[in-house]
Amino acid sequence: MQLLDEKKRIIYIAGTPNLKQALKEQLYSNQKARFFIYEEDPMYNKRESELIQRFLQKHGHLPPQNEDVEDLFYSLVLRLNPCGVTNSQETQRTKHRSYA
């Protein structure tokens, strides 16, 4: 599901096994949510990731209310790649090594 503010900007993206319950909770507790978009998908975690990635590519940041996901994402990246080297940096280094 995607929650939107009064200007219909995406403010939150989440996948959930119980869409009806999640929408009820968010629309009750989320002061900025005015609209929502939903898709039923048995692979809701995968779809959530796709939507977040699409938003991130388009806007250069996560939806405002997905900041906890951003913290989790960066901690996971650092755990998987403690040197902080991105794939493009590693590729460039590898190319330099092969030509040196």
Looking at residue 17, what is its pLDDT?
93
Asked if residue 46 has pLDDT above 60, the reply is yes
Please enumerate in sequence order all residues whose Cβ is within 8 A of that of 45, keeping only pairs 6 or more positions apart, or say none.
15
Asked if residue 13 has pLDDT above 80, the reply is yes
Give strand pairing partners of 35: 4
Residue 53 tokens read as 């990635």
Please tell me the distance from the alpha carbon of residue 4 to that of residue 31, in angstroms, as a whole number: 11
**Number of structural domains found in the chain:** 1
Helices (H) and strands (E) in the chain, counts: 4, 3
Domain span at residue 72 reads: 2-99
Residue 82 tokens read as 């403690």
0.75 exceeded by pTM: no
Closest CA to 52 of 3, 91, 89: 3
Contact (Cβ atoms closer than 8 angstroms) between residue 62 and residue 56: yes
Task: Summarize the confidence of residues 78-97 as an average pLDDT.
Answer: 44
